Amino acid sequence: MIKLGYEVNTGKEVGINPSHLIVTGITQLSGKTTTLEALIKRSGLKAVIFKTKIGEKSFTEGTEIAPFFRDRSDYEFVKSLIEAYAKEKTQPGIYEISFARKLTNLTFEEQKKKIPKGFNFTHPAILCEAIMSHYKETGERLLEDWYSRTDILSSHGFLVDVGDFDSDGVLVFSHYLPDDSGDDLGVSFSRRIGDLKSECGKIPFFS
């Protein structure tokens, strides 16, 4: 039995038995987390807490287990992440990719017309694989202070962009509209120049 408090007027102690429980209330006003902390402490039972909010300051007692992180940048892993986000399939192969900061301050249609013949917008998964593999080999960050626009639509209808590769990682997002332009929004175009050999685990590229 968990002691909740005392009944109004009578002063009779009120308690509940541990069972299925839902705590609801207005965020930052109702004391949901405080209620859960009190129930756990008063019951004397053990509990497993999943802290999913960044900067969560509650539930400070107990043993904290750091989140699991898998450090991978191989093609299949990156491809699965991007395809789940953008709902488009990639074509494995050997790609020549230009990482020069070109075609900035242009809309999507203007960029599309100016891409060299034989080249295309680079798929986000291929861009991520290339820049992360290059960073692991050389320590150089490609697309460090600008974004490469792609022709892939995200699940909510915006074009997917890749870039801003700083110490926090590579940013893959969909924020700019096709008519948007800017000095930090260019195109890292590419072309497929060969098949990916079975023994090769990465996508070779030329920057």
Tell me, letter by letter, the H, E, C secondary structure of 161-173.
EEEEEECCEEEEE
- pLDDT over 90 at 114, yes or no: yes
DSSP state of 136: H
The stretch 21-43 carries a mean pLDDT of: 83
Could you read off the pLDDT of 144-160 as tens digits, one per residue? 999 999 998 776 668 88
What are the domain boundaries of the chain?
1-67, 75-194
